[in-house]
Amino acid sequence: MAYTVGQVAGLAGVTVRTLHHYDEIGLLSPSGRSSTGYRRYDDADLERLQHIRYYRELGFPLEEIAAILDDPASDPTAHLRRQHELLTVRIKRLQEMVTAIEFAMEASKLNIQLTPEERFEVFGDFDPEAHAEEAERRWGGSEAYRESNRRVSRYTKEDWLRIKAENEDWGRRIVALMSSGAPADSPAAMELAEEHRQLISRSFYECSYEIHTGLADMYLADERFTAHYEAIAPGLTAYLSEAIHANAISRA
Amino acid sequence: MAYTVGQVAGLAGVTVRTLHHYDEIGLLSPSGRSSTGYRRYDDADLERLQHIRYYRELGFPLEEIAAILDDPASDPTAHLRRQHELLTVRIKRLQEMVTAIEFAMEASKLNIQLTPEERFEVFGDFDPEAHAEEAERRWGGSEAYRESNRRVSRYTKEDWLRIKAENEDWGRRIVALMSSGAPADSPAAMELAEEHRQLISRSFYECSYEIHTGLADMYLADERFTAHYEAIAPGLTAYLSEAIHANAISRA
DNA sequence: GCTCCGGCCTGCCGTTACGTGAGGGTCAAG
DNA sequence: CTTGACCCTCACGTAACGGCAGGCCGGAGC
């Protein structure tokens, strides 16, 4: 079977100009020409183009692709295996970027400034183990965190406004309670802690009592989260943390 | 906090030249300069750069990124949501490419020529429904097919050679049986059909009796698979298909 | 046989997103 | 006060095509 440039271009989803270019630089020269000078591509040319397209999608420069494809030491299935591996690595990378975006959304939700490192962690030559460990430390089981955060990405602006309003309402009430002098382990405080937990469960992720106490500890340990609650009212961080712990114990 | 070009470049994983370029075209101009003309970037600049990097990774041209970022109608979380969505679409696309590669490996294993459409299906403006339907028709449940084929990608050249040898041995025995005149629903033929199923299960994917009969039908329906078995021995396709059906029924 | 219209050819210049010096100030550590 | 690492501004180079000009096919219809 023989094909013209236009046909090949249509099949492969590239422009005719691109095929001309590949011919010019010798990356993909059609196996023959018609008597009138038309390029004629055969099935072997198509297979080569297929590999070219995959390697290109993976970001390889044309020169390097030529070197890879012309390497006599690698049979066709070797290319397939290689492309398969490169693709899965790429997918993993993109999934890390998704997680990073979700983290940024979480931070943005609480008006928390990301550190420069956090902003670009996913782009640098990061240590994957340290990364996983960090997520583990911060979220106490990254699996639940990731799964749950799928929801966040689907929220509209209206959802966000509603969530914000709910949070602010809750904030006003716990500040009022704290200033009234009620202790952090009082039933009223525990009730507000429980409400806090349910707010998270409804809007973000299933927040177990275990995760909730983990969050309480994190609020105390991470100054950026501390700052968030202290900005609402001084002393609120400790008050809330204590209430969360008391609530968790009483429900156990 | 203020940063120099070099620091920003290090953090964000780009070159100093890139930052110079972004400054030149007005995409990211540092918020200030030192008395001696040094660029000074602040946290807001870093946040902008963060978005630039994500959009770039997604293939947006710089000019378009500038337009998006300077659009007053979109708040910062809108960018995050948008990037999240674009990333997941991208991941889906790459996963389709992985499936396509696995299909190509499967075909290569049997020395089957792909049609031009199959080679570039994943690049063209393909209809996703038709694609899924095709996979469904061909593999009777693409999920099992995809999951199982993860194995294939890890095979070494030696594995392939071993598998090939096993297949050829099986081929010789079924050809011998067929020429001996034993009917396709004889115990011996059914035994070889069962062996065929187990060969697939061991080397490629868990092949249930249901899938196995699906394969039998496919061998008859798809001329490329037919050609594969007819090349071994004329009439083998029909013989094997019948044996597979007989075997499946007897085991039910 | 003629006539179109869409497809093909070969230049050739333009563009994007930087890479890569050249030539020359700047900053902090010793 | 030197020295090495870092910063500045030109300015030209490169990869991978895009897009157009000017001209040659090819087959469907009259």
| Residue B231: Cβ-neighbour burial (10 angstroms; 0-12, 13-18, 19+) | exposed
Q: pLDDT category, A149, cuts 50, 70, 90?
A: very low
Q: Integer distance in angstroms from CA A36 to C1' C1?
A: 22
Residue B213 C-alpha from the chain's centroid? 25
**CA dist., res. A137 & res. A186, Å (int):** 30
- Cα separation, A97 vs A89, in Å, equals 13
Q: Residues with Cβ < 8 Å from A126, sequence gap 6 or more?
A: none
Of B136, B152, B168, the residue that ends a domain is B152
Instruction: Tell me: pLDDT of B222 over 90.
Output: no
pLDDT at B141: 38
Cβ pairs bridging A and B (under 8 Å): 122
What is the share, in percent, of chain A residues with pLDDT greater than 90?
33
Q: Is residue B208 part of a domain?
A: yes
CA of A36 to C1' of C2 (A): 21
Angle between helices A76-109 and A43-57 (to 10 degrees): 30
CA distance B212 to B205: 11
Distance from CA(A13) to C1'(C6), angstroms, rounded: 20
The pLDDT assigned to A204 comes to: 58
Same domain, A135 and A164: no
Q: Which residue of B has its CA nearest to A124?
A: B13
Q: Which residues pair with A41 in a beta bridge?
A: A3
Measure Cα distances from B135 to A6, B88, B110, B141, B145 in Å.
28, 21, 18, 8, 9
Quick check: B164 CB within 7 A of strand D?
no
Query: Are B87 and A105 within 8 A, CB to CB?
Result: no
| Same domain as A230, residue A165 | yes
Residue B61: the pLDDT is 96
* Pairwise pLDDT comparison (A93 vs B114), residue with the higher score: A93
Predicted confidence (pLDDT) at residue B32 exceeds the cutoff of 70:
yes
Q: Is the pLDDT of residue B174 over 90?
A: no
B110 and B144, same domain (yes or no) = yes
Check A153 against B101: CB less than 8 A apart: no
Q: Are A193 and A184 in contact (CB under 8 A)?
A: no
Q: Is the CB of B39 under 7 A from strand D?
A: yes
- Which domain-ending residue is among B152, B184, B204? B152
Name the nucleotide nearest B37; use CA and C1': D8
Q: Which nucleotides of C are covered by protein (CB under 7 A)?
A: 7-10, 16-20, 25-27
Q: Which two tokens stand for residue A93?
A: 């990378």
pLDDT of residue B205: 57
> Is B145 among the domain residues?
yes
Q: Are residues A117 and A165 in the same domain?
A: no
Q: At what angle do helices A142-149 and A128-139 cross, to 10 degrees?
A: 80
Q: What is the mean pLDDT of residues A62-84?
A: 90
Residues B72-117 have pLDDT tens digits of 887 878 899 899 989 989 999 998 898 888 888 877 777 677 777 7
Average pLDDT score over residue span A102-114? 76
Residue B150 has pLDDT above 50, yes or no: no
Q: CATH no. for residue A230?
A: 1.10.490.50
Which residues of chain A does B80 touch, with a Cβ-Cβ cutoff of 8 Å? 101, 104-105, 108
- How far apart are the C-alpha atoms of A157 and B80, rounded to whole Å? 12
Tell whether B196 and B147 lie within a shared domain: no
* Chain A residues close to B50, C-beta within 8 Å: 104, 119-120
Are B64 and B111 in the same domain? no
Instruction: Tell whether B14 and B39 lie within a shared domain.
Output: yes
Please state the rounded mean pLDDT for residues A159-183.
79
Domain that holds residue B132: 87-152
**Position A153 pLDDT exceeds 90:** no
B34 exposed, middle or buried (CB, 10 Å; 0-12, 13-18, 19+)?
A: exposed
- Measured to protein CB atoms, the chain D nucleotides within 7 Å are 6-9, 15-20, 24-26
| C-beta atoms surrounding B17 within 10 Å | 10
3-state secondary structure of A85: helix
Are B99 and B62 contacting, i.e. CB atoms less than 8 angstroms apart? no
A84 and A146 within one domain: yes
Judge if ipTM > 0.85: no
More confident call, B138 vs B206: B206
- Residues B65 and B240: their CA atoms lie apart, in Å, by 58
Closest chain B residue to the Cα of A54, Cα to Cα: B97
Could you tell me if residue B45 is inside a domain?
Answer: yes
Q: Looking at the predicted structure, is the pLDDT value of residue B131 above 60? A: no
- Rounded to the nearest 10°, the torsion over CA B113, B115, B118, B121 is 150
Quick one: pLDDT band at residue A231, thresholds 50, 70, 90?
A: low
Residue that terminates a domain, selected from A73, A98, A131: A73
Choice between A114 and B135, residue whose per-residue pLDDT is larger: A114
pLDDT exceeds 50 at position A130: no
Evaluate if residue A146 carries a pLDDT over 50.
Answer: no
| B194 and B120 share one domain | no
Count the domains in chain A: 3
Report CA(A65)–C1'(C5) in Å, whole number.
38
- C-beta atoms of A119 and B11 within 8 A: yes
Q: Is the pLDDT of residue B53 over 50?
A: yes
Q: Integer distance in angstroms from the first to the last C-alpha of chain B?
A: 72
In a domain, B16, yes or no: yes
Among the partner-chain residues B47, B95, B108, the one whose CB lies closest to the CB of A91 is: B95
DSSP for residue A41: B
Q: Tell me, what's the pLDDT at B219?
A: 64
Residue B193: pLDDT over 90: no
Classify residue B68: in a domain, yes or no.
Answer: yes
Looking at residue A63, its pLDDT comes to 96
A67 CA to C10 C1', in Å? 27
More confident residue, A119 or B126: A119
Query: Chain B residue closest to A123 (CA)?
Result: B13
> In the predicted model, is pLDDT for residue A212 greater than 80?
no
Provide the pLDDT confidence category of residue A7 given band limits of 50, 70 and 90. Answer: very high
**What is the structure's pLDDT at A195?**
84
Chain B residues with CB under 8 Å of A18 CB are: none
Give the domain CATH number at A23. 1.10.1660.10
Instruction: Write down the mean pLDDT value for chain B.
Output: 78
pLDDT tens figures, A199-211: 766 665 566 676 6
User: Is B211 part of any domain?
Assistant: yes
Cβ of residue B104 lies below 7 Å from strand D: no
Residues A48 and A97 in one domain: no
Name the residues in B29-58 having a C-beta closer than 7 Å to nucleic acid strand C. Answer: 34-38, 56
Instruction: Summarize pLDDT for B223-235 with one digit per residue, the tens.
Output: 545 556 666 677 7
Are B239 and B172 contained in the same domain? yes
Q: Check B101 against A54: CB less than 8 A apart.
A: yes
Q: How far is Cα of residue B217 from the mean position of the Cα atoms in its chain? A: 25
Question: Are residue B203 and residue B247 in the same domain, yes or no?
Answer: yes
Residue B80 lies inside a defined structural domain of this protein: no
Structure-block tokens of residue A167 = 């949070």
Position B139 confidence tier, pLDDT thresholds 50, 70, 90 = very low
What 3-state DSSP class applies to B3? strand
A95/B84 Cβ within 8 A: no
